[in-house]
Structure 1
Amino acid sequence: MDHGAHFAGSSGVLLPVLALFVYLHLARRARRRNPVVGWSRWRTAGFATGIVLTGAALLPPVTSFAHADFRGHMVQHMLIGMYAPLALVLGAPVTLLLRTLPVGAARWLSAVVHSGPGRLLTHPATALLLSTGSLVVLYFTPLYNAVTAQPAGHWLLHAHFLLSGCLFAHVIAGPDPAPARPGVRARLVYLGCAVAVHAVVAQLMYGGFWVDVHAPIPEVQGGAEIMYYGGDIAELLLAAALVSTWRPGRRPRPVAGRAVRA
């Protein structure tokens, strides 16, 4: 990897670092505004972890490995597209903004979240298509080779992985408001679909069926293994985050001695 690529990687980390500073500033403001409610340090730790994972994926040695080897690309994909998004989403950044923005700006943000386009974007089917479904287009068409041939293409790919990963994690297990989010059972079904698609894509990639990646076969097979096992771990973490929000409703107990009217 040349010095220009190193510089580009270092520059690319500035945005996540800036996002972390903004988050920490808003978290402090939330605690000052309402000391009783405050702001969860666990959420702050989650967001910070997501920033660290994103930074690790965009700096050497990971980024050097990713430019030289398809297996490195897949490690980068797992970090940016699956592990970092879950941690970032668990930080509840939208809720933090709603608590700390001026009233007018907070109402505007809430209106955007509850708008028709907002509901469509945060529907589980949309999130599944953009995050997991895009893998089929990326690795089984010439798109991957065309995108990664240019430095700007790498950054576009990183942005897609991060944003679509955050969207899917938000829809499935995020603490932020999502009006189109269905119940836990339905979200488990969508998560199961994501697991199945990841597994099929990884197996087809390992077997060399229809895959269109210009890389040596051992690298492609190694990348497929990283996708298969790394994706399983990430999806188990996402499932754990989802199940932790499950609050089964309790049926009301009948009151003894009360007459039941017909």
Structure 2
Amino acid sequence: MHAGHGMGTPSGPGADLPLLLPWGLLLAAAMLYGGLATRQVRAGRGWPAARSIWFALGSLLLAVAFSPALTELAHADVRAHMAQHLLTGMFAPLALALAWPLTLLLRNLPVQLARRLMGWLHAPPLRLLTSPVTALLLNVGGLSLLYLTPLYALMLHRPLVHGLVQFHVFAAGLLYTVVVAGIEPVVARAPFALRVAVLLLGTAAHATLAKLLYAGWWPHGTGNPPGQLQQAAKLMYSWGDLAEMLLAVLVFWGWYVRRGRAQARARGSAGQNRAVTSPGR
């Protein structure tokens, strides 16, 4: 890594293996998703190509974010770190949420195992974990811990800490996106008003963190000049707003689709009732 941040530069034939590990995991996930989608199509149950395309896009964004070049640069330049954050915690989760990976997995499992897994997903501990408020705390709370404490400076000197932070940013971002969007049917869906309220709070908190970075108050001990911090803050503010706006589109689109289906069912039920009660000829 960059000596300017005290990480040292690993050497030897296996020095790049830790940097390439995320790519290996992404490749394995892509092969699994592709295999399960193909199995659905061959079984005649079908799987929309659009979902596979969204998964490919999300995987591509993560591949860029976890590339060795960007990972190395992120230790020396807070702007590169912010690009990683936006890709792993906001834009890639948006694409992956539209891929419905959990639904695809459940559709490929044996019926009894799928029902058991659904029971676990709706058990009280996991329902608490997947509530919008918990997702908000894990997502924005994790970012606040990263930027408003010495954790960010520690991450620059500890590759293991850096890897754990990256994993948390991605996992918390994906959980937040899936829970707030509420579009994957197998996930317990919170009330629409609660999800909108959490989205607004998350957007405000993310923008506030960006303003604190722009003011140069945090993070401490990074060695980044004020100009770099301000540019990173601008990235966080502007591109973060775009990601939040896209998430809002998902939230309201899902609400609109479900509302339309409910109205169609209501019209169908009303039509059947009229047919039953009308006098025969």
TM-score (norm 2): 0.83
Determine the structure 1 residue equivalent to 2:201: 193
Aligned to 2:40: 30
Given candidates 236, 247, 252, the residue that maps to 1:243 is 252
For residues 133 and 102 of structure 1, what CA distance do their matches in structure 2 show?
38
- Could you tell me how far apart the structure 2 residues matched to 1:83 and 1:236 are? 11
What secondary structure sits across from 1:246 in the alignment? helix
Matches within 5 A, 1:116-195: 116-173=124-181, 174-179=183-188, 181-195=189-203
Of residues 7, 18, 37, the one that matches 1:8 is: 18
Structure 2, unpaired ranges of 5+: 2-8, 272-281
Q: CA deviation at 1:84?
A: 0.7
Give 1:246's aligned amino acid: W
**Residue 233 (structure 1) aligned with residue 242 (structure 2):** yes
Alignment of 1:34-183 (within 5 A): 35=44, 37-173=45-181, 174-179=183-188, 181-183=189-191
Aligned residue for 2:255, secondary structure, equals coil
Tell me the residue number matched to 2:277: none
Structure 1 segments of 4+ aligned residues over 6 angstroms from their partners: 251-255
Uncovered stretches (5+) of structure 1, i.e. residues with no partner: 256-262
Q: CA RMSD in A?
A: 2.1
Structure with larger Rg: 2
> Number of matched residues?
252
Letter in 2 for 1:141: T
| Cα distance change, pair 86–95 in 1 and its aligned pair in 2 (3 A) | same
- TM-score of the aligned structures, taking structure 1 as reference length: 0.89
- In 1, the alpha carbon distance for the partners of 2:93 and 2:160 equals 21
Note if contact 1:213-1:220 (Cα within 8 Å) is conserved in structure 2: no
In structure 2, how many angstroms separate the alpha carbons of the residues matched to 1:13 and 1:66? 17
Report the Cα offset of residue 77 of structure 1: 0.6
Aligned to 2:4: none
- Partner deviation per Cα, 1:34-63 (whole Å, 9 max, x = no partner): x2x411111111111111100101114422
Query: Residue type of the partner of 1:243?
Result: F
The structural deviation recorded for 1:162 is 0.8
Q: Counterpart in 2 of 1:259?
A: none
